[in-house]
Amino acid sequence: MESTPWDPEGVTVALDPRGRLAIGHSAPGLDLKVLYRALVAGRCLDLRASRANVVHWTSAAGEEAALMAPALVARTGDWIFPGLRDAAVALARGMEYDVIAAALRGGRGFGDANLRLGPSTDALGMPLPIAAGLAHAQKLREPGDITFVLFGEGLTTTGVFHETTMHAVHADLPLVFVCRSQLWPFGAPAEAGQVGDSVSERATSCGMWVRRVDGADPIGVYNAVAAAAQRAREGKGPSLVEVVVTRLREDTPAHRDPIERLRLHLDATGVWTQHFHETVETEILRHLDEAFAAEVPS
Amino acid sequence: MILLERLAEVVAELLADDERRVLLGEDVRDGGMLGLSRVAASDERFASRLLGAPLCPATGLAHAAGLALGGALPIVLLPSVGALLEGLAGLREAALLHWRLDVPVPLLVVAPCGPGFGLGGDVVDDPEATLARIPFLRVLALGSVAEGPALLRAAAAPGELATVLLLPRRLCLAEFDAAHEDASLTHAVGAAVTVRDGTRATVFTWGECVELCREAIERSDLDVALVNLEGLAPLPHDRLLELAQATGKLVIVHSGPRDHGLGAELAARFGDEAVLHLDAPILRVTGRPGPYLPEHESDALPELASILAAIHRVVHD
């Protein structure tokens, strides 16, 4: 398959656009059906929230691998700091459907100390240093536990991002930055804050361990996040995984959809069936419909 | 020994008392910008808990909040309240963690304020009003040299709310008499403290102005009560109203500019809820508006003569 303007450059590919594992790549310790289910759950939640007229909602369809990989890699003792729109992470972390629906419609956001989900904040970028502080406490008090912080590439133009990465590297914190970079096939606008460089290059320049992967390749994303997490658990310090994502609400080629790419792979290996897909989707949609119906104001 | 030196000993005692405590700040491993970690830095036991960090105020304060969320008891040693103003975004997030997650935020931020070092500029500011309106932030101001160690210990006790302790520089530099140290506070931390009783009028103040007001009252030769607020946020409203109603003649004294200051909030509250007990207009005596030149940084303080004149006016007019 020929490369299109939608295919990112400089990424490590595990699952190619036809759904084939690249030579030398595998998915050790990963149940691909669990990954598939998580991605579908994230997509269903995204579509349901889009239909529910949630204020300020912007679809994250196409970004599921970057959201779900940290949630699948994280252990009970770990913390995850999701972004404002990252409801799918809360779902994967075990938050009840009705609590998620309520949080999307108002309230104080997805933060939950029991689920070890960091709070969303109004102030741009503030989850980054809070997550770094939490990782610092883990390093001092609970070695082996780690923290993930999820954000978009727009934040990397802020001082808070650079101050936090510098501090994390200096203090060797068990912190995994997961940055979703939007793909700009026809050139980035000024708002993207990029001048020909990439987020991973910025993080590399301060001495961070970095991997740049394709958000349409869910196995590649999972493997990179799992490797970063392993380093953090072993006391080797912070890392940044840059996931280049394609927003599917734009008119994008099918191979840019991480769910479709994984489906091709599972189909070719005899794991995927229409029945399996429908079972997964029906169950999630039923929960979502109940949760959102309960929340409609009378 | 000056108060700062004694407080440096208390900081080390706090680290010894609870191994969850950590110190954050620029140069904390070398004693800190103010010398508050000097004693701790000389003790090998605390080396892993002195977290040196560059002076990035917003990021640093949010980092400290994360430490508190993760089970540590962070004490942030700032060189100046100027860093709090620069770090407002981080301070707000630190305070709001309590609301967002329904968890305690046992974070203490210690910052010197007001004139005393001849620095002028923002660092002389008394930003109580800016800090006091941050939701879920506790703001305390030291008003007595003798109480310094006890107030620092009380402020550092693990609590529900993120806390800022303001240390007026003039008090930090004052001679500290260990023989007269208050072993512990005789009041609940942050409760308005009656420094002296009186029947003719009541002066409300805090911080470095407490001593100024005491001197003014003594010079006035009038039987005037003096109240040290200590807790600037949340304000102990019921207690303050009770104290205001007792004499009905009120003077509010604070450093920094008069407009939009915390004194305006107090006066408005007394006007709303104690108006039937008031026998005179509520007077405010404050510093001049900033910014402050280094050579004129004491402009931030109210003048003794003005406090004295206000006491006479409220009692006699």
> Which chain A residue's Cα is nearest to B20?
A141
Q: Of B20, B64, B89, which has the smallest distance from its Cβ to A126's Cβ?
A: B89
Where exactly are the structural domains of chain B? 3-180, 193-316
pLDDT for A198 equals 86
Which class for A193: exposed (0-12), middle (13-18), buried (19 or more C-beta within 10 A)? middle
The CATH number given to B3-180 is 3.40.50.970
The 10s digit of each residue's pLDDT in A231-266 is: 999 999 999 999 999 888 777 888 999 999 999 999
Q: Which residues contact B274 (CB under 8 A, 6 or more apart)?
A: B241, B244, B245, B248
Range of the structural domain that residue A164 is part of: 32-295
Asked whether residue A112 is assigned to any structural domain, the reply reads: yes
Q: Which residues on B lie below 8 Å from A119 (Cβ)? A: 97, 100-101
pLDDT for A88 equals 95
Residue B14 has pLDDT above 60, yes or no: yes
- Tell me how close the Cα of A212 comes to any Cα of chain B, in angstroms: 26
Q: How many domains does chain A have?
A: 1
pLDDT for A298 equals 45
Q: Is B90 on the interface with A (CB under 8 A)?
A: yes
Q: How confident is the model at residue A297 (pLDDT cuts 50, 70, 90)?
A: low
- Tell me how close the Cα of A129 comes to any Cα of chain B, in angstroms: 5
Which class for A9: exposed (0-12), middle (13-18), buried (19 or more C-beta within 10 A)? exposed
| 8 A C-beta contact, residue B143 and residue B228 | yes
Distance CA B248, CA B238 (A): 15
pLDDT for B269 equals 96
Tell if the CB–CB gap between B66 and A112 is shorter than 8 Å: no
Residue B317 has pLDDT above 90, yes or no: no
Distance CA B175, CA A159 (A): 41
Q: What is the mean pLDDT of chain B?
A: 95
Q: Of B70, B93, B100, which has the smallest distance from its Cβ to A108's Cβ?
A: B100
Greater pLDDT, A5 or A83:
A83
| 8 A C-beta contact, residue A42 and residue A68 | yes
Tell if the CB–CB gap between B70 and A108 is shorter than 8 Å: no
Report B:95-134 residues touching A (Cβ under 8 A).
Answer: 96-97, 99-103
Tell if the CB–CB gap between A121 and B93 is shorter than 8 Å: yes
Helix (H), strand (E) at residue A243: strand A239-245
Q: Which residues on A lie below 8 Å from B135 (Cβ)? A: none
Asked whether residue A199 is assigned to any structural domain, the reply reads: yes
Q: Is B239 on the interface with A (CB under 8 A)?
A: no
Tell if the CB–CB gap between A129 and B60 is shorter than 8 Å: yes
pLDDT for A296 equals 56
The 10s digit of each residue's pLDDT in B142-201 is: 999 999 999 999 999 999 999 999 999 999 999 999 888 888 899 999 999 999 999 999
Residue B61 has pLDDT above 60, yes or no: yes
- Tell me how close the Cα of B97 comes to any Cα of chain A, in angstroms: 8
Tell if the CB–CB gap between B66 and A134 is shorter than 8 Å: yes
Greater pLDDT, B179 or A209:
A209
Which class for B171: exposed (0-12), middle (13-18), buried (19 or more C-beta within 10 A)? buried
The 10s digit of each residue's pLDDT in B227-244 is: 999 999 999 999 999 999
Distances (CA, A) of B108 to A283, B13, B67: 47, 15, 11
Provide the percentage of residues in chain A whose pLDDT is more than 70. Answer: 98
pLDDT for A57 equals 83
Q: Which residues on A lie below 8 Å from B63 (Cβ)? A: 129-130, 132-133, 136, 164, 167
The 10s digit of each residue's pLDDT in A260-284 is: 999 999 999 999 999 999 999 999 9
Residue B124 has pLDDT above 90, yes or no: no
Residue B125 has pLDDT above 80, yes or no: no
| 8 A C-beta contact, residue B12 and residue B40 | yes
The stretch B109-137 carries a mean pLDDT of: 90
CATH number assigned to the domain comprising residue A131: 3.40.50.970
Radius of gyration of chain A (CA): 18
Q: In the block, which residue shows the tokens 């700009």? A: A184
**Angle at Cα A221 formed by Cα A218 and Cα A222, nearest 5°?**
85
Q: Which residues on B lie below 8 Å from A131 (Cβ)? A: 66
Q: How confident is the model at residue B64 (pLDDT cuts 50, 70, 90)?
A: very high
The 10s digit of each residue's pLDDT in B73-121 is: 999 999 999 999 999 999 999 999 999 999 999 999 999 999 998 888 8
Distances (CA, A) of B132 to A14, B7, B166, B261, B306: 53, 24, 12, 10, 26
Distance CA A294, CA A287 (A): 11
CATH topology of domain B193-316: Rossmann fold (3.40.50)
Residue A295 has pLDDT above 60, yes or no: no
Flag whether the ipTM exceeds 0.90.
yes
Count CA within 13 A, CB hemisphere, residue B203. 35
Tell if the CB–CB gap between B59 and A111 is shorter than 8 Å: no
Count CA within 13 A, CB hemisphere, residue A114. 4
Distances (CA, A) of B66 to A109, A118, A212, B72, B198: 17, 9, 27, 9, 46
Asked whether residue A42 is assigned to any structural domain, the reply reads: yes
User: Over the range B180-204, which residues count as b (16 or more CB within 10 Å of their CB) and which as e?
Assistant: eeeeebeeebbebbbbeebebbbbb
The 10s digit of each residue's pLDDT in A279-294 is: 999 999 999 999 988 7
**Least confident span in A63-67, A195-199, B20-24, B30-34:** A195-199
Query: How many Å from the N-terminal Cα to the C-terminal Cα in chain A?
Result: 52
Q: Of B54, B93, B103, which has the smallest distance from its Cβ to A130's Cβ?
A: B93
Give the single-character DSSP code of B7.
Answer: H
Q: Do domains B3-180 and B193-316 have the same CATH topology?
A: yes
Q: Of A135, A137, A160, which has the smallest distance from its Cβ to B59's Cβ?
A: A160
The 10s digit of each residue's pLDDT in B245-256 is: 999 999 999 999
The 10s digit of each residue's pLDDT in B211-225 is: 999 999 999 999 999
> Which chain B residue's Cα is nearest to A169?
B53
Q: In the block, which residue shows the tokens 């369809």? A: A61
Q: Is B53 on the interface with A (CB under 8 A)?
A: yes
3-state secondary structure of B51: strand
Distances (CA, A) of B101 to A123, B53, B62, B104: 16, 26, 15, 9
| 8 A C-beta contact, residue A228 and residue A136 | no
The 10s digit of each residue's pLDDT in A212-228 is: 999 999 999 999 999 99
The stretch B274-302 carries a mean pLDDT of: 94
